[in-house]
Structure 1
Amino acid sequence: MWRDGNRKKTKLPPLSLHDQQSPIPNPLQSPLPQSCLTMSSGQDGDEPSLADLEKEQERIAEEVKRRKRAALKAQREAEQQQLIAAGEG
């Protein structure tokens, strides 16, 4: 069994000149494309209007309701399948 004192200390190779000059870009610091910053309001570069924001909020709320209903339906169907399987077994 090796003891810590018997292990060889490995040194990392020094960074090459190329590695020192090209750091890994940080995605948090890079600017986002303009298309990511604005919502689809039909106006290039302008901020979305209040009406556009309200429509978007309503659309999202409807989507959330639809997904919740679909999840509940899938859950009920799974429970029915389990009951049927338990009854047959």
Structure 2
Amino acid sequence: MRQILIENAPPGWSDRAANEAVPLLVKNSGEARLQLWLEPFGQGYWLKPGEAMCVTLYGNWNDYPFATIHETDCLTVPARTTHA
């Protein structure tokens, strides 16, 4: 399984430790390739059927670290961060 690490520690967000890891497992359970698109970084990855990838956010955030947006053959994960 491939892994993506995103580091984030903007000042004044929350009291979470800057090294706290939050993993998000993304698995393509479909029959066609699935594009995984990470924002705000503009990084794209293609997952083959059955392939999985773990996106891990490190840092501080207010309410939740990730969101997901599903479109045909594409899953966008906007990380709630200001830099990588």
TM-score range, shorter chain: under 0.3
Structure with a larger share of its residues in helix: 1
Kindly indicate whether structure 1 or structure 2 has the higher relative contact order, using CA contacts under 8 Å at least 6 residues apart: 2
Structure with a larger share of its residues in strand: 2
TM-score under structure 2 normalisation?
A: 0.17
TM-score under structure 1 normalisation?
A: 0.17
Q: Between Structure 1 and Structure 2, whose CA radius of gyration is higher?
A: 1
